């Protein structure tokens, strides 16, 4: 939680997050959004979790490498959350303070979905730790690319530790993303990830455009 116990939304800069299952199009759409923003003259900082800091890259290797083998569920959650703390402090806030548009491929909701709903840890407990670690900084907009797990996993080959989980696990993850969006419609956009890439891209631009008054060119 923040010191005030309230979610924190940056007053300068714009914070956009992409969430959704594996293969739902997060990397595709986050790159496209960053490209469009740059062409429009904004400073877009494309980033991702886990792994976009020096310590985060180490944490990412541990949590995703099949060589890691079994990890206690709590250990896994804490490693992901440590990555977030480092990411928010050293990447996200500095860019927001410069008036940039920060686009992150995954954020807190992924940990709530994968380590909470997926692993069946107590989601409220995981959330309390994740909110503490991130100072409860929230995206102005989270885009959920919604796709049945079978379709997403079918879009690529090779499985990391998380992608190799059961279909039931991935179904719980999907349901968790949709439920989080439904609970806070002001800050979420849920899109059908089966639509074509350009249709999704246009819907995302339409949702981001009104937020750009807070961003510097
Ligand atoms: N709307 C879409 N329809 C069909 N294929 C898509 C769509 N969006 C992305 N893809 C393809 O699906 C694969 C996974 O997309 P990616 O953006 O890497 O997903 P994620 O980052 O969510 O895992 C890529 O091969 C990508 O080209
Ligand atoms: Mg990706």
Q: What is the pLDDT of residues 121-143, one digit of tens each?
A: 999 999 999 999 999 999 999 99
Mean pLDDT calculated for residue range 91-119: 96
The chain-wide mean pLDDT, for the chain, equals 95
> Is residue 211 packed enough to be buried (19+ CB in 10 Å), middle (13-18) or exposed (0-12)?
middle
pLDDT-above-70 percentage for the chain: 98
pLDDT of residue 156: 79
Distance 84 CA to ligand 2 centre (A): 17
What is the predicted pLDDT for the residue at 164? 86
Say what the pLDDT of residue 127 is: 97
Strand order in the sheet with 188-192: 44-48, 101-105, 14-20, 141-146, 188-192
pLDDT bucket at 162, cuts 50 / 70 / 90:
confident
104 lines ligand 1 (CB under 6 A): no
pLDDT at 157: 80
Mean pLDDT of 73-85: 97
- Residue listed under structure tokens 């939304």: 9
Buried b (16+ CB within 10 A) or exposed e, 8-36: bebeebbbbbbbbbbbbbbebbbebbbeb
Nearest atom (ligand 1) to Cα of 200:
1
Looking at CATH, the fold of the domain delimited by 14-214 is given as Rossmann fold (3.40.50)
Pocket test for ligand 1, best of 18, 28, 173 (most atoms within 8 A of CB): 28
Å from CA of 40 to ligand 2 middle = 24
Structure confidence at residue 2 (pLDDT): 60
User: Tokens 């991130």 appear where?
Assistant: 134
Would you place residue 159 in the very low, low, confident or very high pLDDT band (cuts 50, 70, 90)?
Answer: confident
Residue 158 has pLDDT above 90, yes or no: no
Is the CB of 201 within 6 Å of ligand 1? no
Q: What is the mean pLDDT of residues 19-37?
A: 97
pTM attached to this predicted model: 0.96
């Amino acid at each position: 939680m923040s010191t005030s116990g309230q979610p924190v939304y940056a007053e300068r800069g714009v914070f956009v997050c992409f969430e959704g299952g594996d293969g739902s199009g997060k990397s595709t759409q986050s790159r496209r959004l960053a490209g469009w923003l740059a062409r429009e003259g904004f400073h877009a900082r494309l980033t991702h979790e886990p792994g976009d800091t020096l310590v985060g890259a180490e944490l990412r290797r541990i949590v995703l490498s099949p060589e890691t083998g079994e990890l206690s569920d709590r250990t896994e959650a804490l490693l992901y959350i440590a990555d977030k703390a480092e990411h928010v402090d050293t990447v996200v806030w500095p860019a927001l303070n410069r008036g940039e548009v920060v686009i992150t491929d995954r954020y807190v909701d992924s940990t709530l979905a994968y380590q909470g709903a997926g692993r069946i840890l107590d989601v409220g407990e995981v959330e309390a730790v994740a909110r503490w670690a991130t100072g409860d900084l929230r995206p102005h907009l989270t885009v959920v690319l919604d796709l049945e797990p079978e379709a997403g996993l079918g879009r690529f080959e090779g499985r990391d530790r998380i992608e190799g989980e059961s279909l039931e696990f991935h179904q719980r993850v999907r349901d968790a993303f949709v439920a989080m969006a439904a609970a806070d419609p002001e800050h979420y956009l849920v899109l059908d990830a089966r639509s074509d890439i350009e249709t999704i891209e246009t819907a995302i631009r339409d949702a981001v455009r009104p937020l750009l008054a807070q961003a510097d060119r």
